[in-house]
Structure 1
Amino acid sequence: MQKVSSVILCLFAAAATLTAQARGTIRGTVSDSSGAVIPTVSVTALNVDTGTKQRAVADEAGNYTFPYLQVGNYTVSVERSGFRKSETTGVRVNVATVSDVNVTLAIATTDQSVDVTAAAPLLETNGSNLGKVVETKAITDLPLFISGGSVRSNLAFVILTPGVIGPANNPRIGGGLLDGQSEQLDGAESNSERRNDPAMNGVSVEGMEEFKVQSSGYSAEYGRTSNGVINWVTKSGTNKVHGSAFVFNRNEVFNARAALI
């Protein structure tokens, strides 16, 4: 019985590790206006869409990390007695990506706060991997026939990323071989067992939040691939009611005439 329990615990631990691949990270350092680090500071990460909060405490070097965040927009708040409260809005967390939010606290004379708006980094400096994130706006606004292939396929946007050539239903990533890519859906392998066909091709386009194509230099957590990694994340619920609908319509009036025999 004890062996069975141990096996079950290992399976749950492995599942949690896989799901972590579909999450993002916020990290940073808290310092004062002179550049000296401020230890044991209370830091809060608020998901603007869902209202969920995660809290952390900076270490003795002033560093904090939120390693397992759902994809979305965040507000990072930092508080410490004797300093003005700082709020950094517009922090975007993308799949398999680290967002740096370094905070400088000013000495408070009265109850004051400082609001900062985060800017998207021009260059990714947190790792050696090469990749591109395609966010929900592109998936929602762009036509689904940009790369041919299946109708309303969530793979239609893959060839928009650097280093990828199509067709989208069987792309070559970074010069790799056909049928060699690893496709992750919310952290789980989603290639078919027959061969590396994308088994998640049938997932609704409306259900996709964003994806990241990693062409090279990806970490050891990604395996079973010789052709890059496509990491998809599905949407979660929010505090607002929303939805979408579509319809296929074929009018026979516009059909071409059959060839005369």
Structure 2
Amino acid sequence: MSKSVLLSLVALAALGGFARAQTTTGVISGTVVDPSGNLVPAAKVSVTNEATGDIRSTQSTSAGDFIFPSLLPATYTVRVEMPGFQTFRSTGNVLTPNGRLALGDLRLALGTVGETVEVAGQAAQVETQSSENSGLLTRDQFSMVPTKGRDLTNMLRLLPGVQMTGDQDALGGATGFGATMGAVSGTRSADQNLT
């Protein structure tokens, strides 16, 4: 490598540091809190450049903090939205070149109830007269199990409260290599009847 090429590379590297120091972007940051001063995580925070209309958005962290790096110098509107709170809006926030605009705590006011969620359903019937645990497998459930190895004892796995245990033959009570039985609701597998 020639001496002139080496000097050119050194000069470019040195000038690169000066060029980086001439950046004009700034940072807007703050913390989202509720009326009691508690941190509000996952709030949607956006900044809008009032001159151009450009919008950047982020979410507050688990500590309620947000940061918008590399913003061009301008006047910004900051908007914070979170379900259950009124929308926060702050206008006229001036960011200077290389500026750090720390907005501090942005306190959200409690919102009014604007919608009703209605849930309809029925409670499952609970058997109170015996400790019987039963379930029904549909034809669709049975057909979804792979055909290789499909048998009655393996179908028990689809029922709630059933865990398969080893070395117990489900049909007949004989033990053997690889035989399994379902333990229902924590009882011993030998204490159960299958119908």
Give the TM-score, by structure 1 length: 0.35
Q: Which has the larger radius of gyration?
A: 2
TM score, norm. by length of structure 2: 0.47
